[in-house]
Amino acid sequence: MKVIYNLGIIIYTALAHLISPFNKKARLYIKGRIGWEKNLAEKINHGDKYIWIHCASLGEFEQGRPVIEKVKKEMPHFKIILTFFSPSGYEIRKNYQLADIICYLPYDTPGNAEKFISLIDPGLVIFVKYEFWYNYISVLKRKNIPLYLISGIFRKEQQFFKWYGSFFRQILKMFSRIFVQDMRSFDLLRGIGIENVSLAGDTRFDRVMQIAGNAKDIIQIERFRGEEKLFLAGSSWKQDEEIISQYINRYPDKMKWVFAPHEIDINNIERLEKLIRIKHVRFSQFSEDFTDARVMIIDNIGMLSSAYRYAYIAAVGGGFGKGIHNILEPACWGIPVLFGPNHEKFREAADLLSIGGAKSFNSYDSFKDALDIFLDNKILYSQAAEAAGDYVKENTGATGKIMQGIV
C-alpha cells in the first residue's frame, strides 16, 4: 500500500503540472513549490526553536487559528512555521503576522518529507482537521517529534473504517494525540482501536466568538437598515440568490435586504442586480440618497462576519453546491439561520436544525415557509434566536482543552 500511495502522489503531481498552463490554481500550486528547499533554508535560523502548524486550505486555517494564537501567546519561545497545501489558503494568508515562516507544504514524497523535517527540526507539529500525509507523519514518528491532529472529524464512510483501511489506520496510530470535534468521531476511532484520541470540541466556536468580540461598526448598513428588520444573505451563490430574490420581489416591504455574495466580481454583481426588480444599491455606492432602497449588495470582502450583527434573520449560501459556508458566524449573534439542502456533512447544521435555531430550504416554497414562520411567530422567533446563540456559547472552549493536551 505504501508503494501505491507514493505512486498516487507522483501521479497527482504530474497531473497538476499537466493542467497548470490552463488552470490558475494548479499553476500556483506548482509555482509555489519551486525551489522550496533553498527558499526555506534561507528563512530558517538554526538557533531558534520551531512549531510547525499545517492547514490544507483557508477553512482549516480559520479552524486552527485560535490554537495558533494561543501557541504564540503561551509558548513565545517557539517560532511558528505555517504551511498550506492549497493556493486558496496560502495566497490569502501568506502575510499572516503571527506566523514567522509561511510556505507551501512540499509534495509528500519520502525525500521531501525527510528534507523538510530535518531542515525545520520542529519541537512539535500540529495538523488541522483532515491532513494525513503518510511520509511526513512517518518521519515525525521515527524522529519522536510530537504530532497532534486538532479539530478532527471522522465519518464511517472514510477509508479508515473500511475493510481495506489498515494502512490508513496505521497513520492514525502515529499521532501523539488526536483531538476530535464530536462524540461520533471519538466512538468511530475507538471502535477501530485508536486509543490516542480526546474529545475536545470544535475550535470554530472559539473563533466565531472571538470575531464577534472584535466586530466593527458598519455605519452604512446601520443607516440602510434604519428602524426596520434586516435579512442578510451571506456568502450567497446563484441558486440561493434566485430563490431569495424571488421572495424579495414579491414582498419587498417585509424587511430590508442585504446580499453578501461569495463572488464579488463585476459580472456576478451585475447578474445579481438583474434578479432584483426593486430599488437597490451597492455598498460601495451607498449614500443618504439610497436610504429608501430596499436591497443592498455588499461588493467587497472582509465585512461579512461583522455585518451579521445587524441582521434579524440570516441565510448562508453554498447549500445548493458542495456545502454550506460558515453558519456559526450568524448564529453567534443570536439570530435564526437558513441554508440550502447540502448540509449533511456539517455537524453544526444538524445540531441547529434539531434545536430549532435553523431551518433548511430546497425551493422557493420551502424558503418562504421557513422565513414566514420566523417573521409571523414572535415566540418561535425568540426561541430560535436564543437556541442559536446559546448553542455557540455552550460549545466554546475547545482551544483551551487542546492547549492543555499539547502543553
Q: Say what the pLDDT of residue 20 is.
A: 85
Same domain, 256 and 356: yes
**Mean residue pLDDT across the chain:** 95
pLDDT, one tens digit per residue, over 215-234 is 999 999 999 999 999 999 99
10 within domain boundaries: no
Q: How many CB atoms lie within 10 A of CB 365?
A: 10
Look up the CATH number of the domain holding residue 306: 3.40.50.2000
Note whether 243 and 357 are same-domain residues: yes
Same domain, residue pair 280 and 385: yes
Residues 226 and 202 in one domain: no
**Domain interval for residue 129:** 35-210+397-406
d(CA 386, CA 383): 5
Q: Which residue has the cell 440570516?
A: 314
Residue 155's CATH number: 3.40.50.11720
The predicted structure's pLDDT at residue 96 = 95
187 in any annotated domain: yes
Same-domain check for residues 201 and 227: no
- pLDDT (0 to 100) of residue 217: 95
Q: Same domain, yes or no, for 105 and 125?
A: yes
Element holding 83 (H helix, E strand): strand 78-84
pLDDT one-digit tens code per residue, 98-107? 999 999 999 9
pLDDT tens, position by position, 345-402: 898 999 999 999 999 999 999 999 999 999 999 999 999 999 999 999 999 999 999 9
Q: Is there a domain that residue 168 lies in?
A: yes
The torsion angle over the Cα atoms of residues 92, 94, 100 and 101, rounded to 10 degrees, is: 130
- Cβ-based burial of 34 (10 A; exposed 0-12, middle 13-18, buried ≥19): exposed
Instruction: State whether 232 and 161 are in the same domain.
Output: no
Residue 121 amino acid letter: D
Range 1-5 average pLDDT: 88
Within this chain, do residues 149 and 256 fall inside the same structural domain, yes or no?
A: no
Written as nine digits, the cell of 315 is 441565510
Question: Is the residue at 128 inside a domain?
Answer: yes
232, 96: one domain: no
Rounded-to-integer distance, Cα 347 and Cα 327, Å:
11
5 located within any domain? no
Is residue 20, in this structure, part of any structural domain at all?
no
- 269 falls in which pLDDT band (50, 70, 90)? very high
The span from the CA of 341 to the CA of 363, in Å, is 9
Per-residue pLDDT, 59? 86
- Shared domain for 352 and 368, answered yes or no, is yes
**Helix, coil or strand: residue 297:** strand
Let me know if residue 9 belongs to a domain. no
Give the span between the Cα atoms of 328 and 339, in whole angstroms.
12
Three state DSSP letters for 373-384 = HHHHCHHHHHHH
How sure is the predictor about 323, in pLDDT bands with cuts at 50, 70 and 90?
very high
pTM (predicted TM-score): 0.84
The 10s digit of each residue's pLDDT in 95-154 is 999 999 999 999 999 999 999 999 999 999 999 998 899 999 999 999 999 999 999 999
If asked whether residues 308 and 380 sit together in one domain, one would say: yes
What the block records as the C-alpha cell of 366 is 420551502
Interval 250-264: pLDDT, tens: 999 999 999 999 999
The total number of structural domains that make up the chain = 2
**What pLDDT does 12 receive?**
87
**C-alpha to C-alpha distance for 373 and 379, rounded to whole angstroms:** 10
Sheet holding 358-360, edge to edge: 280-282, 295-297, 256-261, 230-236, 313-316, 337-339, 358-360
pLDDT at 227: 95
44-64 mean pLDDT:
93
Looking at the structure, tell me whether residues 168 and 257 fall in a common domain. no
Give the cell for residue 303.
465585512
Identify whether 13 is part of a domain: no
